[in-house]
């Protein structure tokens, strides 16, 4: 692995680690803390802030994916090289699992602590609001679709790309505000994998949904965005050519 790829993979590892530790940590440690609990609103902002902060910290190194669905969505949009896809996804999943290990070590230090769902995702009886499989599948596909659409749109030619981390972080916050009651919000297979391994049992059995649905939504968004922003490139080229030939 060359030096550039190593830097990229480490950046994806740290970004995903921070996302899981910060977002799931807020859910496990702070959401329901007696008298000071931050609730769903606080957890939603915690996830958004993890992406916002790491987008500026390491996004310029790897592109700031921190999510296998984002990597595959950007790949389908022609915005991620083939050689980056598998290394990024491996780094993201490892980062999520190690973050879950660290969170488990911290949380289990409290006497009488019970892991429960450990911020894992689920449908049916494991859904926070007891939403069925169909509802949860649609939720994850649609939310991931729009997450990718926002990521691609705010980092495309003509956008204020230096500020892209802000709308991307706010988009993830909004997604959590809508869908925490439905699936506990995934839109990120790596984020789902780490906690599920510690929640165990049925949560692992339902993990397939939180790989399949986000990836479907992301790839569709990538293909739609490829068409939308390819037109923008063509239009920009025409404008430049017109300027060259105008007396």
Query: In this predicted model, what pLDDT tens digit does every residue of 162-198 receive, in sequence order?
Result: 899 999 999 999 999 999 999 999 999 999 999 999 9
The span from the CA of 58 to the CA of 42, in Å, is 24
pLDDT at 99: 98
pTM for the full model? 0.91
DSSP structural state of residue 160: -
The span from the CA of 124 to the CA of 137, in Å, is 11
Helix H or strand E encompassing 28: none
**Span 78-130, pLDDT tens digits:** 999 999 999 999 999 999 999 999 999 999 999 988 888 999 999 999 999 99
DSSP structural state of residue 177: H
Would you give the distance in Å from CA 238 to the centre of its chain?
35
- Domains contained in the chain, CATH given: 3-245 (1.20.1080.10)
Answer for the pair 164, 155: CB distance below 8 angstroms, yes or no: yes
3-state helix, strand, coil in the chain (%, to 5): 75, 0, 25
- Listed in sequence order, the DSSP H helices in 131-201 are 133-154, 165-183, 189-199
**Span 46-59, pLDDT tens digits:** 999 999 999 999 99
């Amino acid at each position: 692995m060359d030096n550039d790829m190593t830097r990229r993979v480490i950046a994806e590892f740290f970004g995903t680690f921070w996302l899981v530790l910060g977002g799931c940590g807020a859910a496990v440690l702070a959401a329901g803390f007696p008298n000071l609990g931050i609730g769903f609103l606080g957890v939603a902002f915690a996830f958004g802030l993890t992406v916002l902060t790491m987008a500026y910290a390491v996004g310029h190194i790897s592109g700031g994916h921190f999510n296998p669905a984002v990597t595959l969505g950007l790949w389908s949009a022609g915005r991620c090289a083939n050689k980056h896809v598998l290394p990024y996804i491996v780094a993201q999943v490892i980062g999520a699992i190690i973050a879950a290990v660290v969170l488990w070590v911290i949380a289990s230090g409290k006497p009488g602590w019970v892991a429960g769902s450990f911020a894992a995702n689920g449908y049916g009886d494991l859904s926070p609001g007891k939403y069925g499989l169909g509802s949860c599948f649609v939720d994850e596909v649609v939310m991931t679709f729009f997450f990718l659409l926002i990521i691609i749109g705010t980092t495309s030619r003509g956008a204020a790309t230096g500020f892209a981390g802000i709308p991307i972080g706010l988009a993830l916050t909004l997604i959590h505000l809508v869908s925490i009651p439905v699936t506990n919000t995934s839109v990120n297979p790596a984020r789902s994998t780490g906690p599920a391994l510690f929640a165990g049992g049925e949560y692992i059995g339902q993990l397939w949904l939180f790989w399949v649905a986000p990836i479907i939504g992301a790839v569709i968004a990538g293909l739609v965005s490829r068409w939308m922003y390819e037109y923008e490139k063509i239009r920009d080229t025409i404008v430049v050519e017109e300027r060259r030939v105008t007396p």
